Amino acid sequence: MKRTLITNIKSLVQVEDTAREAVCGKDMAELKTIENAYLLIEDDKIADFGTMDTLCENADMTIDAKQRFVLPSFCDSHTHLVYAGSREIEYIDKIRGLSYEEIAKRGGGILNSAKRLQEASEDELFEDAMQRLEEIISYGTGAVEIKSGYGLTTEAELKMLRVIRRLKEASPLTIKANFLGAHGVPLEYRGRQGDFVNLVIEEMIPQVAKENLAEFIDVFCDTGFFTVEETARMLEAGTKHGLVPKIHANELDYSGGIEVGVKYGALSVDHLECVGEKEIATLKTSKTMPTILPGAAFFLNMPYSPARKMIEAGLPVAMASDFNPGSSPSGNMQMVLTFACVNYRLTPQEAINATTINSAYAMGISHTHGSIAKGKKANFYITKDIPTIEYIPYYYGTNKVERTFLNGKQV
Ligand code: NIG
Ligand code: FE
């Protein structure tokens, strides 16, 4: 067994004596810390922690944190980071006034990425995605969910999911795969969307399950994309094949996405720009994690999800990057913290809970990730020389992570 000891930690943040599934409502404002702390790692797990004056452990390797902060790695529970090419042209269209839906209608958006992905080789997709993974690791991410959904044919969807499987093997990040066959309707299915839904149900889902390529199933349930009825059919089929729903909902409209997600036991419903009393009441009856994607709302200049209302209603809130080439070309979770504070009025403590323990829940890993607790994966980072943890979202745009540890090893 290899024992690594981190000493002289200015403040060990997000410590849990008893590990929790998620943090709800006003508890989100609390973040337990230990000042002047040590952290002991055995192999890939957290073994112990405490104040320096109680330290009586020895180890194979000791790292002096030199009075820097230690935080659990971010869990980014919603990304589309396997993609081909980039879409800055549409970004210009947006600046000139076209909406996300208008761009999509013209064959841009998701269809544009699908065309490029279908042409790209598995190796190219893998190499590009590996680079993105390295980038997010350097910004403090330790676990990431990655969706398919730029394939839109059975063959290309399977290609994407196989790339994700390779990433799982090659990267030190904890990775979960989400099958998002119903991300957009291919042009050849325009006017007969039901046939595409049948293809997802009859061909794609069974194949994905047979090859064990995904843990989750997603649907873009919204006005202009997939209806509540279509979503229900696909989630039903996915669930039968052992895929857990985690869906795109209520981004563009009060479209019933939250209700259908909750009905099918979704682990999370994501985006949530359009949330009122009714949606909050539905969420309150469920174990579904409301997940906000601040980068997408920022980049598309959309109205912001009512995060404060949800927290005040006693709900938990998670936040993730939505890293993708169209609506959120960044996987930087430190920026998500800043957006959380500035645009959603979360305190830095709430924002850290939203991007660690609650987002871990939203990807089904809060028993092993998302906090500093004994027995959990040793995924954490040591900050640069910063004065407070509030400084992380405050001094935005630069990297406050100095060293990252994943599975107990520095990466
Ligand atoms: O989460 N809303 C749907 N899907 C993605 C956008 C994907 C794209 O534009 O390429 C999202 O924002
Ligand atoms: Fe998304």
C-beta 77 within 6 A of ligand 1: no
Instruction: Report pLDDT for 19.
Output: 86
Give the model's confidence band at 57: pLDDT under 50 very low, under 70 low, under 90 confident, else very high.
Answer: confident
- Residue 400 CA, ligand 2 centroid: distance in Å: 26
Q: Residue 83 has what pLDDT?
A: 98
**Ligand 1 contact, 296 CB (< 6 A):** yes
| pLDDT confidence bin for 268, thresholds 50/70/90 | very high
Share of residues in the chain with pLDDT > 70 (%): 100
Q: What is the pLDDT of residue 277?
A: 97
pLDDT tens digits, 347-377: 999 999 999 999 999 999 999 999 999 999 9
Question: Do 52 and 7 touch, CB atoms closer than 8 A?
Answer: yes
Asked whether residue 389 carries a pLDDT value surpassing 80, the answer given is: yes
> Measured between alpha carbons, how far is 218 from 406 in angstroms, rounded to an integer?
27
H or E element at residue 259: helix 257-263
Which residues fall within 8 angstroms of residue 199, CB to CB, at 6 or more apart?
A: 154
Would you say 146 and 178 are in contact if contact means Cβ atoms under 8 Å apart? Answer: yes
Evaluated on CA atoms 340, 345, 348, 353, the torsion sign reads negative
The structure tokens listed for 233 are: 């059919």
Query: Is the Cβ atom of 178 under 6 angstroms away from ligand 1?
Result: no
What confidence category does residue 160 fall into, taking pLDDT thresholds of 50, 70 and 90? very high
Q: What is the pLDDT of residues 102-138, one digit of tens each?
A: 888 877 899 999 999 999 999 999 999 999 999 999 9
Q: Is the CB of 31 under 6 A from ligand 1?
A: no
pLDDT per position as a tens digit, 146-157: 999 999 999 999
Judged against a pLDDT cut of 80, whether residue 100 lies above it is answered with no
Q: What is the band of 325 on the pLDDT scale with cuts at 50, 70, 90?
A: very high
Q: How far is the CA of 219 from the centre of ligand 2 (A)?
A: 10
User: Contact 179/208 with Cβ under 8 angstroms?
Assistant: yes
Amino acid in position 162:
R
110 lines ligand 1 (CB under 6 A): yes
CA 332 to centroid of ligand 2, rounded, Å: 15
pLDDT over 90 at 290, yes or no: yes
Model confidence at 209, in pLDDT bands (50, 70, 90)?
Answer: very high
Exposure of 30 by Cβ count < 10 A (0-12 exposed, 13-18 middle, 19+ buried)?
exposed
Chain mean pLDDT for the chain? 97
Q: How far is CA 255 from CA 259, 264, 350, in A?
A: 9, 16, 28
225 lines ligand 1 (CB under 6 A): no
67, exposed or middle or buried, with CB in 10 Å at 0-12, 13-18, 19+? Answer: exposed
Nearest ligand 1 atom to alpha carbon 322: 1
The Cβ-side half-sphere exposure at 19, using a 13 Å CA radius, reads: 20
What is the atom index within ligand 1 of the atom nearest the CA of 109?
9
Q: Which atom of ligand 1 is nearest to the CA of 113?
A: 10
Mutation to probe ligand 1, out of 248, 273, 274, 302 (largest number of atoms < 8 A from CB): 248
Across 163-204, the runs of DSSP E, i.e. the strands, are 174-182
The finding on whether 117 has its CB within 6 A of some atom of ligand 1 is no
Output the pLDDT for position 104.
80
Nearest ligand to the C-alpha of residue 147?
Answer: 2
Ligand 1 pocket test target in 98, 145, 327 with most atoms within 8 Å of CB? 327
Taking CA atoms, 172 is separated from 98, 162, 168, 380, in Å, by 40, 17, 8, 12
Q: Which of 78, 79, 80 to mutate to test the pocket of ligand 1 (most atoms within 8 A of CB)?
A: 80
Number of Cβ within a 10 Å radius of residue 17 = 7
| Residue with CA closest to ligand 1 atom 9 | 326
Distance 49 CA to ligand 2 centre (A): 36
